[in-house]
Each structure stands twice: as structure tokens, then as C-alpha cells.
Amino acid sequence: MQNVLLALPPIYLSRYQLRNSLFEPSVLLVNTLGSLKIGEVKEMNFVLTEEQESIKKLVREFAEKKIAPSAAERDEKELFPREIFDELGKQGFLGIPYPEQYGGAGMDSVAYAITVEEISRACAATGIGVSVHTSLCSWPIYKYGTEEQKMKYLKPLAEGTKLGAFGLTEPNAGTDVGGATATAVLDGDFYVLNGTKVFNTNGGEAEIEVIFAITDKDAGPKGSTAFIVENPTPGLSFGRTEIKMGIRSSVQREVIMQNVRVPIANVLGKVGEGIKIAMTSLDGGRIGVAAQSVGIAQAAMEAAIKYSKQRVQFNKPIASQQTISFMLVDMAVQIEAARLLVYRAAFNKSNGIPYGKEAAMAKLFASDTAMKVTTDAVQVFGGYGYSREYPVERLMRDAKITQIYEGTNQAMHLVISGSIMR
């Protein structure tokens, strides 16, 4: 097999040059043997590493044994499975992309995306809990935290002995995060937090929250600051639990802060960097949601294939009907394309390549794929697909939220258009 060079001089390209090239790194050099490198960037290779294959197998086995059997019941009764999260922590699955010195597994973001996909294939509600814990709570502490904060907070999060949450959304500040009104006022060696957050995934169950509040009302986007808030803390309470269409065994609660005193030492990053920290954290969160979407779609396709082989109409399995088989083909193509977008965004993140646009693309396409595939899976099942006796109606309900959280898909269009129009 030959390397394919696209009419470019045989020069050694640095990561800086790649970032500023008119072409993406993957376009500059396609090496089918996976033996060449472009600057500091690893070679293009569509085969998972031995480590990634290993984690895929381990997580799938765990999910099928420990998560999937109770998924329907937990959905029906809206039961948050803390015992499952504790076991995920013991298995090392809650700290996949973080260094071992901070309690993590020392793997890359592709391995993390695989982990979320496999968990979500068994239960999407559990998948989003893992994603929020890892991408939105643990990551900003890893990226912006002091060494003391990493040892005190990141280590137990990565080890899975504590659960994490992310408090950004407010009743009147969803996509418009600049409309937040929760405040933090300096009082000696503490900031005093007041306000309300909503749709707080893992809220009330998590021991560690990353919460955003306004420290300077006149500073605009630079007036928000991130804080690490421990649960319990006096004045911190949790209100109503959302009653939802899907991901029903995941918990989203209202966070109520009434004179919550947070030490100055728990300011995450610098004062005024809250919006920056929130937006960069959401970039990673979109990889998690995209991986969750792929897991949902994969589960729906597998269920549809199995059912179509067993369901007999007109004296033959409906899988032999071209109208059905072509629907299954479309599912497979869309899922594979979505998975590659997820892996690309995760690869970029692990290799220090900008990934905001790629994460938005992955989230946009994968969530739309999850919605389309689950809807078609219900159609394959016919009337039975609408019944709770079969899993596809739950998967369809779970899929819808992926088009909404971590930035609506309409917001993803804005993110992507802003990037490609530069």
C-alpha cells in the first residue's frame, strides 16, 4: 500500500503549521499503513489501539452485566443508581482520561469516548451521569485547578469515590449563559454565593459541584467566576427534581444557594474567567454527549436488526423486505459516520489540536443520528415499538435530549458557522 501525498512538498510540518494550514492534518497525509507521522501528531489510523480495544471490551462486559439488566426498571421508577456509579468508580471508569497521579486511568480522550458510548448503549441515563462527572466537573479542575485543588478534588473524582456535577444553567439563562444572575460576593476569606441553578445533572447526589456565579455585575462576560463547592455546605440545598421524558434514571435537580460561604481557595482558575472555563468545559462535554448519542443509536440498531430477523410477515422475516433492510443500512451508515466524528474530536483533544468545531460537529451529527435511528427503530418494530415491552421506545425518548443539552443543535450551528466563516 502506498502513502497518498496531496501535491505538497515533502516537508516536516509542525503542529503550529498544521493549525495554520489551509488543510486539516488528516488531509495532508493519508498513510494506510499507519507508519508515518505528521510533526507531533500521531499517524492517521482507523484501528483502535490495543488499550482502546481493551477498555471497550471491559466497559461493554460491565455494562451488559451490571447496567443493562436494570435499565428499564430504573427508567420506569426514575431511580438514580448510585450503587452503579460507585462500582464504575471501583472499576476505574470515572477517571479514564486523567493521569494516574490524580487517580485516573491515564488513557486518552478516545478511550473516554468509547467508555461513554458503551455505557450509554446499555443505559443512556447512566451515560450522561458519567459524561457530566468526567467532562464538566473533573476536566475544568484538571485544566484550571491548582495542584492543591487537583489533589483535594480531582483525585477522588477520578478515583470514583466522589461524584461530580456542573452548575451553569439558570431558570432564565440557558443558551444565553451571560444572562445568569447567581452572585458571589467577597467577604474576607470567603465568597458568599446566592442564587439558583437548574437542570443540575447528578445534583444532590454529587459531593463536588463546579458552580458559576457573578463576581462583578459591571464586567459583562468577564464578571463570571467558577467555584468548587462541596456538598454538603451550609446554605446549599437542592429543590425540585425534574420529571422528564427520557434519561429518567438520571437526576437533574434545582440547586439553591442561600449565603453559601466558599473559601477563596476554591476559586477555580482566575476571578472573572467563569465564561471561559464554562465554554471550554462544554466543548469536552459535547464529545461526551456525542458519544452517548452513538451508544443510544447503536443499541437501537442492534435491537431493530434482531427483531427484524425474528419477526415474520408474509411468510418471511421482515429483514428480507428491502424497505426494512435499507432502513437498517441507513442506520449503520449514519452511526459509523457519527462515531468517526466523535473519535476525531476526541483524538484532537488528546493531541493538543483545537477541537471546539469538531466537538460541535460530532454533537450535532451524532445527536441527530440518535434521534433518526431510534425513530426508525420504533418504525421497524411497528406497533410493538410503541410498547414499553420493547426497548426502542425508551431509546427514542432518551435520544431527544441529546439534541438539547451541552448546547442545543441550533447553537451548534452557530458554533460551527462561526468557525468555518473565519
Q: Would you call 40 a catalytic residue per the annotation?
A: no
Of 331, 323, 326, 321, nearest to 372 by C-alpha is 331
3-class SS at 162?
A: coil
Bridge partners, 4 (sequence order): 30
Distance between CA atoms of 80 and 337, rounded to whole angstroms?
Answer: 32
Peptide bond into 232 cis (omega under 30): yes
Strand extents, DSSP E, 141-206: 164-167, 183-187, 190-201
Degrees, nearest 5: CA angle 58-63-65: 100
Sequence-separated (6 or more) residues with CB below 8 Å from residue 301: 328, 331, 332, 335, 373, 377
- What's the grid cell of residue 339? 462515531
**Of these residues, 170, 209, 358, 406, which one is catalytic?**
406
Phi first, then psi: give them for residue 79, nearest 5 degrees: -100, 120
- CA-based max dimension of the chain: 79
Of 142, 27, 117, 166, nearest to 338 by C-alpha is 117
Bridge partners, 151 (sequence order): none
To 10 degrees, what angle do helices 82-90 and 124-131 make? 60
Q: How many CB atoms lie within 10 A of CB 10?
A: 6
Of 110, 126, 141, nearest to 362 by C-alpha is 110
Length of the chain as a residue count? 422
3-class SS at 50?
A: helix
DSSP letters spanning 225-289: EEEEEESS-TTEEEEEEP--SS-TTS-EEEEEEEEEEEEGGGEESSTT-HHHHHHHHHHHHHHHH
Chain CA centroid to CA 261, Å: 30
Phi first, then psi: give them for residue 177, nearest 5 degrees: -65, -20
**Catalytic center residues:** 406
